[in-house]
Amino acid sequence: MRIGELSDLAGVPTKTIRFYEELGLLPPADRTPSGYRDFGPDAGERLAFIRAAQAVGLTLGEIRSVVGLRDRGETPCEHVLDLIEARAADVDRRITELEALRTELHRLARRAKRLDPAECEPGRVCHLIGD
Amino acid sequence: MRIGELSDLAGVPTKTIRFYEELGLLPPADRTPSGYRDFGPDAGERLAFIRAAQAVGLTLGEIRSVVGLRDRGETPCEHVLDLIEARAADVDRRITELEALRTELHRLARRAKRLDPAECEPGRVCHLIGD
DNA sequence: GTGCACCTTCCCTTGCACCGGAAGGTCAAG
DNA sequence: CTTGACCTTCCGGTGCAAGGGAAGGTGCAC
């Protein structure tokens, strides 16, 4: 399978496929005599895995660590669990931060609608922010 | 006030102060005869405003648009309200996405603890992700 | 034999918000 | 007069995940 066919199949741009190969997320593809990449039938599934892993918030570096274990014949399950739990903790923290920010933004928006622009103090940028 | 003094006062690195000036977030500072920047007394407050605006999620580009209005003598309140409301909508969307992701991550973590690594199918990267 | 789509490598750019370091000028104390 | 802290500009790099485009080779139909 050539890169364009894989690209159509997986819905991933050819640029991105070469980039993933360069990063070690895909094993180096075989080459035709003229130098074209020649992907095996598993390549589409590997790309789907990468996309699914990205969707749960893993970075390409983390995904490389997972597929690296797999390509060396180990079962990456435990490592994947660690990554998932770390990501879950990140997401929980991030949600807490964003909820606080949301509260603050709604407070500011309410205040902005209540106040008269004429009350702006000339020396400051905006009395809405920074109190 | 020289840049180091302002830096200590505002808790913002000198590098960052020059960077903000270059971006137009701070008005170009006066210079001493030897070329040193000489900030007026309002500079600290301007930096505090920038930090506060960053804290509610505005980008430096958006902050520039606010201080730009202010520096041209207009009251930026309405523009600030628009930015705050847009940011609030972003944050709401982001929280919704992250909550869905959190649910998915917790589901995966539960499944990972339940399953036996020996059940890994050899042809796939990891059965935990991508079903 | 000539289009045309496709492929190759290579290097640069994007966006965001900075940080690091080099080379050199300035100022006050000792 | 030297030391050291501070300042200047300029150039480049960081992290993440790619995307853009040039210059040139390949494969296949007409």
Model confidence over B47-67: pLDDT tens digits? 999 999 999 999 999 999 999
What distance in Å separates the CA atoms of residue A80 and residue A64, rounded to the nearest whole number? 11
User: Which contiguous run of DSSP H or E holds residue A55?
Assistant: helix A43-55
What distance in Å separates the CA atoms of residue A1 and residue B87, rounded to the nearest whole number? 45
Residue A123 has pLDDT above 70, yes or no: no
Predicted local distance difference test score (pLDDT) of residue A41:
93
Beta-carbon contacts of residue A9 (< 8 Å; ≥ 6 apart): A1, A44
| Residues in chain A closer than 8 A to B114 (CB atoms) | none
Q: How far is the CA of A116 from the C1' of D19 (A)?
A: 46
Using the beta-carbon criterion (under 8 Å), do B120 and A49 form an inter-chain contact?
A: no
Beta-carbon contacts of residue A57 (< 8 Å; ≥ 6 apart): A87, A90, A91, B101, B105
Q: What are A46-73's pLDDT values in tens digits?
A: 999 999 999 999 999 999 999 999 888 8
DSSP A56: T
Beta bridge pairs of residue B38: B30
